[in-house]
Structure 1
Amino acid sequence: MYSLYFLPVFVLIPHKPEKINLSKYFTSPVDSIQILSTDGVDMYPIIEGKIMVQLKGNVGSARINVFSGGDSFVKDMLFVRSRSRKIKFIYRGSGRNVYLAGSFNGWNSNALPMIKTDSGFVAEIQLSPGRYAYKFVVDGKWIQDTNNPLSEDDGYGGRNSILIVKGGHEFIDDISPSHYRFPFTLSRVYILNGDRLLDEENYSIKGRDVFLKNLKTDVIRIVGIGRKGEISGPFTFNIKPEPPIGGIMYFLFVDRFFEGDGRNMRKIKDPEVPDIANFMGGDLKGVILKLKDGYFDSLGISVLWISPVFLCPEGAYRDALPPHRKFTGYHGYWPVDLYRIDPS
């Protein structure tokens, strides 16, 4: 079993039990989960690699041991109170089939249908504080919200509507890889370095500032709690090491590289999608096979840069600009879930 990157910071509603499936973060099924310790959460394992969690307040944490196929991983988990609010979107124009799409759902054009009411087509969704771009999809046509004065160029000759959800301290300053500044005076911080919470001996708090030391990986996730109960985070920072000197980098486009299982499971059957804009069958398994058979070693390659392998949307989508060609997400740059590997 291999762990797929790090576990996310889970955003939960306090006092509401929630089921979390840990199997999606590993390459093979989880056999069992041992809960080693908890702080601020109630937690117990259930069947098939799932746990039930209930957050008691603003922030909670737990340490677990995950078993699968004879392997085990000890991981720390961090849970943060949701600050989301229910936001109502209204489209007051005409149409038969109206959907809401935006940065909050990976621009999926048919995932959020809007319901026709006396005041127009309505959709309500929960959104955390932040900035979101969106459009209405009316009978297949992408339309800006003309009742919203905030907008920006969409890069395709049109404009996206912009929504700003207020209600939190959503930004901190990364002054250096070991120094972070919050917008309020701190009483406590939670810092995940990789999949382990930093002990208090490895960080210090001075007013609004946090200073870190003895970091073990290049990724940290940080949450701050203020003296007046403010909460900010989670924030993710990548602490980049110095690049290697004198190496040869190979850029690898996964879908176009090598098909590892001998079948193109993802090709879209649509006469409007040209072959060059469709899936061609390359997959992560093919990359692994070529790593093992020494292909890159034979070329003198020391660094691989691969295109994204996150889950991408199904189907094909039409370009907003003439001649309005259709193409798929074969390139990997339309992720809809950053914690799931695309099955193709």
Structure 2
Amino acid sequence: MPTLKFSFAGIISTVVVGLLITSCDPPPAVRFTDEALITGQASPILIQPDTTVVNLEDYVLNVAAIDSVSLPSGLSLTRNQVEVKVFGTMTSKIGTMNVWNHGQAYGIPLQKVNKTNVRFTYRGIATEVKTKGEFNAWNANSSIFTKAGDQFELSLWLTPGNYQYLFVIDGKEVRDPAAKDSMDNGMGKYNSLLRIPRPDPAKVVQVISKSFTPSTITVALTHPAKEVTVYWKNFLLEGKFLQQTDQELTITIPAQAKEEDRSFIRVWAANDEGISNDVLIPLQKGEVVQNASQLTRQDKEAQVLYFMMIDRFQNGNPTNDEPVKDPTILPKANYYGGDIAGVTQKLKDGYFQKLGINTLWLSPISQNPKGAYGKYKDPATTFSGYHGYWPVSLQQIDYRFGTKAELEELLAEAHKQNINVILDYVAHHVHKEHPLVKLKPEWFTPLYLPDGTINTERWDDQRLTTWFDVFMPTLDLRKPEVVGPMTDSAMYWLEKYELDGFRHDASKHIDLLFWRELSKKVKSKVKRPIYQIGETYGSRELVNSYVNTGMLDAQFDFNVYDDAVNAFARNEVPFTRITNS
């Protein structure tokens, strides 16, 4: 058999197939009692140096079905109905938290976080000293120094990596006088740079898919692995399922996998230097997927997204064109006429198939206001709601974009071509013309803060309450009484239409309560695969905090994007900036 190689797009997991190897041993006679306690693949839990809090509802819809929870050596726990607190020091770098139901263990991967205690100091005359940077999502109010003798001090636990940061001395941003390194921030100024050495990638064990037979998979190990964890679905494979040498690991595929149209093998390894990459191997009826033609639009990991702002894409129905009649809006800030019918036209033309696209991401289509709002100085203009991000209704399709029948036609045509459609959904705010603003004013955050300052564009220090503009009230999604109906509004689109998921706007400005509630409703009420991807500008830890089995499937990595833009567009920025991102 020739060696075949392909990779899933959008997920850092590798799917590689290769030459047959011989194996005479039958699969172990083990049968897993699969009551699907965990919906989807359990995402890894990062075990912190002090205490790690695990929300069990992120993994198990019915937590009452959990009989017990067990942890690897070195760790202990306390548990209430929905929350586990993990204490102690994990003696291994990787491991498994088992949740038990009727004698069957369901495994949740664990990874020990390697953190360093970093001490910042400032010697100088000041009343208040703070720091803001990539390590705290640029929120200075979360990192305030204490006065100790003749200096100010702050200690933070940080993972290995490079961090840009600044001090804030009595409200003024300055570089750290004690910092040895600085870095161009891409906007004409420099930030201080903290470097915490990462594991040496040349010494960390890497897992590389190598070969397979109808009943086994062999992966190569670039260095001897002291630890390995392998899962089929959410079941830890041990004992006779694994045969390991210094150079490779052979995994016996459970015979039970033949009963599943699609299931996955996942592999991690670790040595003294660090934790390997993860390898995701798709199975079809228990055999390794060999060809991309075997993938369907339901394979979340294989999505290739195409984003379009509907108004600017294709005008398929000129009869619904209606630019805002306001002379303060320049033509480029007004409606162009693109609509849902235009997207369907291009689908039927084969445009997206020729590009190799299998997922369309539509800009918001809910009703927006008819007037002009906002201001831009140069060139002077106001704006229409052509972009769709100013909803005055959470369920009505904007007539300038189309009708229910046109959206249903688009979805039917896309699905006929094995193409997903995900909708850009705005949960964070509404436009001031939305009826809720008058009906439920207590559902919104105040425009002015207690100190009298206006709470607009306070992206970091007022992350969950800030307004984007004075005509865009922010929903207070920290309140359960607001989260309930707002998640119901999002569910409307999935229950009314055969949409395949959401791209969520402004994810970092929405409390985790909303994402947990929405994902719980999706899993319990929608019986088809749903993909949710978010938008978060901020630290890597902040971006990661929204991604797990019970919240979002993925987030866009704007940190890598910003580093890539600087490396590609500016001669003085080296490509190592992307490597170190």
Task: Using structure 1 for the length normalisation, give the TM-score.
Answer: 0.66
**Which amino acid is 2:426 matched to?**
V
Map 1:207-222; keep pairs closer than 5 Å: 207=246, 220=266, 222=268
The aligned counterpart of 2:377 is none
Report the structure, 1 or 2, having the larger strand content: 1
Aligned to 1:111: 142
CA distance in 2, matches of 1:121, 1:303: 52
Query: 1:288, CA displacement in angstroms?
Result: 1.0
Match of 1:325 in 2: none
Distance 1:30 1:248, change over 3 A: closer
In 1, distance between residues paired with 2:508 and 2:60? 14
Q: Is the 8 A contact 1:191 1:222 kept in 2?
A: yes
The aligned residue for residue 346 of structure 2 is none
Deviation at 1:287, TM superposition (A): 1.5
Please say if 1:162 is aligned against 2:193. Answer: yes
Q: CA deviation at 1:289?
A: 1.9
Residue 190 of structure 1: aligned partner: 229
C-alpha change, 1:139 and 1:209, in structure 2 (3 Å) is farther
Q: CA 1:158 to 1:185, structure 2 compared with 1: closer, same or farther past 3 Å? A: same
Q: Is the 8 A contact 1:255 1:279 kept in 2?
A: no
The residue type equivalent to 1:286 in the other structure is: S
Shift of 1:76: 1.2
**Cα distance, 1:109 vs. partner?**
2.0
Structure-2 separation of matches of 1:266 and 1:129: 39
Deviation at 1:124, TM superposition (A): 0.8
3-state DSSP of counterpart to 1:255: coil
Give 2:68's aligned residue.
35
SS at match of 2:135: helix
Count of residue correspondences: 309
After TM superposition, give the deviation of residue 2 of structure 1 in Å: 8.2
* Residue equivalent to 1:319: none
2:46 to 7, 10, 18: 10
Equivalence for 2:275: 233
What's the counterpart of residue 286 of structure 1?
Answer: 489
Which of 143, 150, 157 pairs up with 2:174?
Answer: 143
Residue 89 of structure 1: SS of its match in structure 2? strand
Tell me if the contact between 1:40 and 1:61 (Cα under 8 Å) persists in the aligned partners: no
What residue number does 1:324 align with?
A: none
Corresponding position of 2:419 = 247
Matched letter for residue 222 of structure 1:
W
1:38-187, aligned counterparts within 5 Å? 39-41=72-74, 43=76, 46-51=79-84, 52=86, 54-55=88-89, 57-59=91-93, 60-65=95-100, 75-118=106-149, 120-166=151-197, 168-169=199-200, 184-187=223-226
Q: CA deviation at 1:130?
A: 2.8
- Counterpart selection for 1:269 from 437, 442, 447: 447
| Cα pair distance change 1:313/1:141, threshold 3 Å | farther
**Distance in structure 2 (CA, Å) of the matches to 1:310 and 1:5:** 22
**Secondary structure of 1:63's match?**
strand
Q: Distance in 1 between matches of 2:447 and 2:429?
A: 21
Deviation of residue 30 (structure 1)?
Answer: 3.8
Query: What whole-Å deviation, never above 9, does each CA across 1:270-322 have from its counterpart, x for those lacking one?
Result: 33622366536895442212221x2x34xxxx5434126755489xxxxxxxx
Query: Post-superposition shift, 1:88?
Result: 0.8
After TM superposition, the structure 1 stretch with the greater mean CA deviation from structure 2, 102-111 or 233-242, is 233-242
- Which of 503, 508, 516 aligns to 1:306? It is 503
Bigger CA radius of gyration:
2
The sequence identity of aligned pairs, in percent, is: 15
Distance 1:149 1:29, change over 3 A: farther
Distance 1:110 1:206 in 2: 51
Contact kept? 1:310, 1:341, Cα under 8 Å: no
| Structure 2 Cα separation of the partners of residues 157 and 238 of structure 1 | 41
2:491 aligned counterpart, secondary structure: helix
Q: What is the CA distance between 1:98 and its match in structure 2?
A: 1.7
* 2:92 is the counterpart of 1:25: no
Query: Displacement of 1:80 after TM fit?
Result: 4.1
Q: How many angstroms does 1:158 deviate by?
A: 2.7
CA RMSD across the alignment: 4.7
Deviates more, 1:173-182 or 1:79-88: 173-182
Corresponding letter in the other structure for 1:58 = S
Change (3 A) 1:61 1:93: same
Counterpart contact for 2:166–2:191, Cα < 8 Å: yes
Query: What amino acid is the match of 2:224?
Result: T
Q: In 2, Cα distance between the equivalents of 1:118 and 1:50?
A: 41
User: C-alpha displacement at 1:64, in angstroms?
Assistant: 0.8
Question: Is the 2:38–2:106 contact (alpha carbons within 8 Å) kept by the matching residues of 1?
Answer: no
TM-score, length basis structure 2: 0.42
* Structure 1 SS opposite 2:68: strand
The alpha-carbon deviation at position 247 of structure 1 amounts to 2.5
* Structure 1: distance between partners of 2:488 and 2:60: 12
- Asked if 1 retains the 8 angstrom alpha-carbon contact of 2:494 and 2:501, the reply is no
Are the aligned partners of 1:247 and 1:303 in contact in 2 as well (CA < 8 Å)? no
Measure, in 2, the Cα distance between the counterparts of 1:199 and 1:288: 40
Higher helix share: 2
C-alpha contact 2:129 2:167 (8 A) present in aligned 1: yes
Q: Which runs of 5+ in 2 are unaligned?
A: 1-36, 211-216, 282-300, 305-357, 359-416, 449-453, 457-468, 478-485, 512-533, 553-581
In structure 2, the residue corresponding to 1:186 is in which secondary structure? coil
Contact 2:228 2:269 in 1 (8 A): yes
Shift of 1:219: 9.2
Which amino acid in 2 is paired with 1:189? V
Whole-Å Cα distance in 1 between the matches of residues 132 and 446 of structure 2?
22
CA distance in structure 2 between the aligned counterparts of 1:29 and 1:7, rounded to whole angstroms: 18
Matched position secondary structure for 1:125: strand
In the TM superposition, what whole-angstrom CA distance separates every residue of 1:206-259 from its partner, at most 9, and x where no partner exists? Answer: 54666778696679573413xxxx151275567732653552634413237989
Q: 1:211 & 1:93 partners in 2: Cα distance?
A: 60
Distance 1:280 1:110 in 2: 22
